[in-house]
Structure 1
Amino acid sequence: MNFELTGDQTAVVDLATSLFREHGSDDHIRALHEKDASIDRPLWRKLSETGLLSIALPEAAGGAGMGMLELGLVLQQQGRFLAAVPLWTHALATLAVGTHGVPALRESVLATLLSGERPAAIATELDARAGLTATPSQQGWLLDGELPSTLLEPWHGFLLALATTPQGRRLFLLDLQHVAPERTSGRLTDLQTVCTLNFSRVFVAQDCVLDAPALDWLWPRMACCVSALQLGVLEEALSRAAAYVSERHQFGRPLGSFQALAVRAADAYIQVELLRSAQLQLAWRIDQGLPCEAAARVAKHQASQAGHIVGHTAQHFHGGVGADLQYPIHRFYLKSQAQSLIAGGAEAQLAHIGRALADTDIAEYIHE
């Protein structure tokens, strides 16, 4: 079986690498951090102009007609350069509207989403119970409740969020120009803005709600994107750590030649390759229309576990300089830890897998 990338996929990787490298030098990223800038707007415009924002959207809806595998390849390159753009949330929200929005919603917002003029965020807490309730009202819905720990920048124009309706849990696309919940904002260690959003009888139009299958559709794709971005972050962090201990000498020998470091580096490398396999399998299953809930949980678990192991390993290999807030490897560490927690950490994924195993015939679960 041939596992090599196709010509089109290679072209996508080359284009993404070129753009992210242009806007992803260590000096450029450090300057953004020093300015507390969480979004690189010139890079965002380049992504829009080249069509990478809509790479997974069907051609009929104005996209490139590729899939989650290609989007994952782009996100992997973003992770390698720590590019400060909300690519995965915007790409998924756009895809959700294009495939699960009613015609009126697609007609009103899809062109804006495709342009990237107003990026879209996603309230990533989709498990357990929804933080919002949606009550039918004349020509629309009234939203009440709280969305905690939502990654939302002031620049975002849309938010894809979960709410409980009388008919069950549904996804809503909220236009933040017209929907203004109360915000309590803070910053994560990797400079992303995180908000608690409080809704009190906030009106949204009837056509803001996506169709019922959208919720089950969204989670595996979220796991796929987060895992791909994490893969790029960890791959580059480990590469830099390996180069560092190969160049630094102690007792007349490279640090990397000492057995303790070599074994730990091998363990970290295995974690990265496990994540690569899990992420690629998940992307392939999604694109092939195969069951993917189990694969999504495994990939997200591995993204969180590898984030902890590889992130710490790469930083520790740099010794005291790894703790320097201005040194590049520290930014990779911060990003890997933030990515580990999005949409639930390793323990949360294991809990889901355990419940699924308890409720499902083991042979059927393994076959999936």
Structure 2
Amino acid sequence: MDFTPTEEQTAARELAARIFGDLSTPDRLAAAGTGTDIELWKALCAAGLVAAVEDIGLLGLVLLLEEQGRTTAQVPFAATCAYGLLPLVAHGTDEQRERLLPGLRDGAVVATGAVTEPAAVRARSGPSVGAAGREEGRLTGTVGWVPWLRDATHVLVADEDRLLWWVRVADAETEPVHTTAPWSAARLVLDGTPAERVGAPSAQLEDTPPAGDTRPYEHVLTESRIAFAGLQAGVCAGSLARAVEHTTTREQFGRPLSTNQGVLIRAADAHMDTEVIRVTAYEAAWRYDEGLPCATHALTAAWWASEAGKRVVHAGQHLHGGIGADVDHPVHRHFLWGRQLDAYQGCGSEVLAELGAMLAKEGDQ
């Protein structure tokens, strides 16, 4: 394993760090509320960072999302790449890639995903091949909440058969919901909503029929888990950096707080937790890019992101003392983001149960 970033990945990460550092300031975050910082999103797309993910791979995306997490930048970067760009690159038809990718690259199309509750959605009528050979269908069901849905133009939906569909948000019904983190989330209501199947129509597939092929769904779920684990690594790193700055500059009884042994131990534990999240996300992303089996590695990264991430953002807030409880303090955003990411794709116990079942199944084969 070699997690050393390539020149392209390093350049992209440095550019992302500069843009996030310059534009994702506390004042701009407060002004954005739960919505997207449009100017920041335009700057990221104009710099080619969304488009760059096609070339720098999932490990490169993890590096970029770390930089977003450090500042809790209010943009749908992770969602657009994990549920739009990468799935279409990997599973879309040539026609879909030619038609849909340009909008994702330049920011005109904002994607999100409703893939964690496939049992909640069903195809009300059988798919048919429509214009330009696209497989079309109509979906019915309700997904409890989808991140960034209120700011998205399209949503990737998984149905009960774990098939993937591309849906225009304007064709569905959305109901705003409040989440722990200030994301523009909403409930997705589908009632015979038109949808376009991601991938080739049945007639064009010679081997496994689409109805029995869940590999694209599993592929998307795996890469999205890795991507959001990378985002959590950045959230934790940002929280810890703020705690270190506070404890080294704030004095108590004539000494910096950082000289207190209890503070040092708490910060050291948070550092180790952050590093574990990072390295498990890196390993899973590297294996993904290399075409190696990585489903269990993705679940491992997701478990650490949930369990360790929760500890780190609590520690970051605690190390700030009383001001850590101030909802307007920057460290509080890290706390909110960390807790939301903790539960987004399954809390630690759920992820651990899935990982155990997967390992047991592999052991029986």
Q: Shared fold by TM > 0.5?
A: yes
The partner residue of 1:229 within 228, 231, 234 is 231
Distance in 1 between the 2:324 and 2:151 partners? Answer: 32
Does structure 1 retain, via aligned residues, the 8 Å contact 2:165–2:197?
Answer: no
Distance in 1 between the 2:200 and 2:157 partners? Answer: 10
Q: How does 1:315-334 map to 2 (within 5 A)?
A: 315-334=317-336
Matched, 1:157 2:148: no
**Which residue number corresponds to residue 280 of structure 1?**
282
Deviations 1:9-29 (A, max 9, x none): 221111111111111122322
Distance in 2 between the 1:209 and 1:148 partners? Answer: 29
Give, as a single letter, the amino acid of the residue that structure 1 aligns with 2:38.
R
- Deviation at residue 196 of structure 1 after TM alignment: 2.0
**Which residue number corresponds to residue 88 of structure 1?**
78
Go from structure 1 to structure 2 and tell me whether the alpha carbon gap of 1:265 and 1:137 turns closer, same or farther (over 3 Å shift): closer
Give, as a single letter, the amino acid of the residue that structure 1 aligns with 2:7.
G
Give, as a single letter, the amino acid of the residue that structure 1 aligns with 2:11.
A
- Deviation at residue 350 of structure 1 after TM alignment: 0.6
Q: Secondary structure at the match of 2:279?
A: helix
**Which residue number corresponds to residue 122 of structure 1?**
113
Matched, 1:67 2:47: no
Q: Secondary structure at the match of 2:143?
A: strand
Deviations 1:277-312 (A, max 9, x none): 101101110011100011000000001112210100
**Which residue number corresponds to residue 60 of structure 1?**
none
Go from structure 1 to structure 2 and tell me whether the alpha carbon gap of 1:360 and 1:207 turns closer, same or farther (over 3 Å shift): closer
TM-score with structure 1 length normalisation? 0.88
Distance in 2 between the 1:90 and 1:204 partners? Answer: 18
Q: Percent identity?
A: 30
Distance in 1 between the 2:193 and 2:200 partners? Answer: 14
Go from structure 1 to structure 2 and tell me whether the alpha carbon gap of 1:186 and 1:209 turns closer, same or farther (over 3 Å shift): farther
Distance in 1 between the 2:66 and 2:234 partners? Answer: 4
Distance in 2 between the 1:79 and 1:340 partners? Answer: 14
Q: Which protein has the bigger helix share?
A: 2
Does structure 1 retain, via aligned residues, the 8 Å contact 2:122–2:139?
Answer: yes
How large is the RMSD of aligned CA atoms in angstroms? 2.1
Go from structure 1 to structure 2 and tell me whether the alpha carbon gap of 1:265 and 1:205 turns closer, same or farther (over 3 Å shift): closer
Does structure 2 retain, via aligned residues, the 8 Å contact 1:170–1:209?
Answer: no
Q: Secondary structure at the match of 1:198?
A: strand
Unaligned runs of 5+ in 1: 58-64
- Deviation at residue 7 of structure 1 after TM alignment: 2.4
Go from structure 1 to structure 2 and tell me whether the alpha carbon gap of 1:331 and 1:205 turns closer, same or farther (over 3 Å shift): closer
**Which residue number corresponds to residue 206 of structure 2?**
none
Matched, 1:302 2:309: no
Go from structure 1 to structure 2 and tell me whether the alpha carbon gap of 1:187 and 1:300 turns closer, same or farther (over 3 Å shift): same
Go from structure 1 to structure 2 and tell me whether the alpha carbon gap of 1:342 and 1:209 turns closer, same or farther (over 3 Å shift): farther
- Deviation at residue 3 of structure 1 after TM alignment: 5.1
TM-score with structure 2 length normalisation? 0.88
Distance in 2 between the 1:267 and 1:3 partners? Answer: 23
Go from structure 1 to structure 2 and tell me whether the alpha carbon gap of 1:205 and 1:351 turns closer, same or farther (over 3 Å shift): closer
**Which residue number corresponds to residue 176 of structure 1?**
169
Go from structure 1 to structure 2 and tell me whether the alpha carbon gap of 1:186 and 1:155 turns closer, same or farther (over 3 Å shift): same
Give, as a single letter, the amino acid of the residue that structure 2 aligns with 1:76.
E
Go from structure 1 to structure 2 and tell me whether the alpha carbon gap of 1:319 and 1:130 turns closer, same or farther (over 3 Å shift): same
Distance in 1 between the 2:277 and 2:311 partners? Answer: 12
Count of residues in Structure 1 that have an aligned counterpart in Structure 2: 346
**Which residue number corresponds to residue 179 of structure 2?**
188
Does structure 2 retain, via aligned residues, the 8 Å contact 1:54–1:91?
Answer: no
Go from structure 1 to structure 2 and tell me whether the alpha carbon gap of 1:171 and 1:246 turns closer, same or farther (over 3 Å shift): same
Larger deviation, residues 5-14 vs 309-318:
5-14
Distance in 2 between the 1:308 and 1:2 partners? Answer: 28
Distance in 2 between the 1:196 and 1:31 partners? Answer: 24
Larger deviation, residues 260-269 vs 231-240:
260-269
Q: Secondary structure at the match of 2:145?
A: strand
Distance in 1 between the 2:360 and 2:4 partners? Answer: 37
**Which residue number corresponds to residue 131 of structure 1?**
120
Distance in 1 between the 2:242 and 2:196 partners? Answer: 49
Unaligned runs of 5+ in 2: 131-135, 202-209
